[in-house]
Amino acid sequence: MHPIKPALNGSSLKTFSDPDDKLLFVEMVKVVQEKGQGTVDYKWERPDSDIPQPKTSYVKGFSEWDWIVGTGVYVDDIVAIQQSIAITYINKYWYYNIHRYWSFSTHCQCHK
């Protein structure tokens, strides 16, 4: 079952490939058969776009039902989150050091 592309439901995905000709569903099966779970990198369109974007999916075998369950994230979303965290850290670090510097200099006894 595919929540974004229901046209894929009920059809063979053995030959379904991304724009780089990666057989992503075949690769997902291979990962589960070899490791039980893991990640697969490929390109996929966002729901609001026709332009394929890099995406990483985590897949895991569910042997009781002979299913593979997966979830994915677009790489640029992860990059944006990492950049936001880095900017937040840099801003806090910068503020802390400037504040510390000025606090130190206002209490300096070196001019007496």
In a domain, 87, yes or no: yes
With a cut of 90, say whether residue 37 has pLDDT above it. yes
Q: What is the mean pLDDT of residues 21-36?
A: 97
Percent of the chain with pLDDT over 70: 81
Regarding predicted confidence, which is higher, 94 or 82? 82
Only one residue has tokens 């974004």, namely 4
pLDDT of the residue at 112? 46
Kindly state whether residue 111 falls inside one of the protein's structural domains.
Answer: no
Considering the domain boundaries, does residue 112 fall inside one? no
In a domain, 95, yes or no: yes
pLDDT at 99: 57
Q: How far apart are CA 77 and CA 40, in angstroms?
A: 16
Burial group, residue 31, by CB count within 10 angstroms (0-12, 13-18, 19+) = buried
